[in-house]
A and B are shown apart, each in its own frame.
Chain A
Amino acid sequence: MSCGPRRDGACLAQIKEVEEITLVSNEKAGTITTAEPTIEKETQSEEELDLPWQVVVHNDPVNLMSYVTMVFQRVFGYPRERAERHMLEVHQNGRSILWSGMRERAELYVQQLHGYLLLATLEKAG
């Protein structure tokens, strides 16, 4: 599908460029030469920039608790206890954050959860 990652800012990577231009004087020749500029680039990986996305599951009075637990186990590979903990959180608090990380993967999880008819959304953390 083409619902690929989307970012709020225009830049994917923050690039810090530091240009150092060294002026070297040559007194004997009476000339000034310019050394090659040194360019330092500091980049952040896509994964680092894409971290704050959350997969949230919302309460739904129709889906059975046992069904929701099974779905969490299947989709996220969580052990039964962890899946049940999330299911109870959804039931009691109305929502639970099931996973957080890169947007593209979060989208995939939301799509899978919709395939099981759970009310799931993608949210940016914070």
Chain B
Amino acid sequence: MDICRRKSVIEISELDPFLAELLRQIPASANPDGAPAAEQRIFSPPIKGKATEFCAEWKMYVEPELRRLFQSATETVATDLEQLNGNEKSLGNRTLRIPAKHCDAWLSALNQARIVIAAKNKFTENELNDHCHSPIGSRRDLSLFQVNFYGFLQEFILRELRS
């Protein structure tokens, strides 16, 4: 896989089918539905301690706005990912071009996906910081690899935004 900035586009080329599939999974992975721990983390309370009237109002007025914000980001990413659904040979490498103006949506969707996957798998801080983890041998290992791969993409996008 090669990743570089070309004018107003971030280009990810030489994407093998495995990594392309991980990218395709971003919108689905970002969805916390059906996982209370993930839902609780994505929509964390605005104050510590007991639920109050303020929390109830937050749930009623702020959470729907946040939901729309997160959904809009994943929809933008899903649209960009349609490039990976071409008629090329299924085992051929692919290229994905992300418009620079979509970088914020990608950062959000990647972050949502990382948070949801981590919450669903209850990854510990040590696991998340272990970048020399053994090769993928289980579904859990694959999920950890997914979190790290998405983190790598986030780092690259952040570097490009800074430059």
Contact = CB atoms under 8 A, between A and B. Distances in A.
Nearest to A113: B46
A101 B79 CA distance: 41
B161 A64 contact: no
Interface in A56-95: 61-64, 66-67, 70
Contacts of A119: 44
Nearest to B57: A3
Contact of B111 (A117, A120, A121, A123): A117
Interface in A90-117: 107, 110-111, 114-117
The SS class assigned to the B binding surface is: helix
B46 A121 contact: yes
B42 A2 contact: no
A2 B61 contact: yes
B112 to A, nearest CB: 7
Chain A CB count within 10 A is highest, among B62, B128, B129, B147, for B62
A1 interface: yes
B91 to A, nearest CB: 32
A66 B163 CA distance: 13
Given A61-B123, A121-B47, 4 more contacts: A3-B58, A62-B147, A115-B66, A123-B48
18 contacts: A1-B62, A3-B61, A61-B124, A61-B128, A62-B111, A62-B147, A63-B111, A63-B115, A64-B151, A66-B158, A67-B158, A70-B161, A111-B62, A114-B43, A114-B46, A116-B108, A121-B47, A123-B48
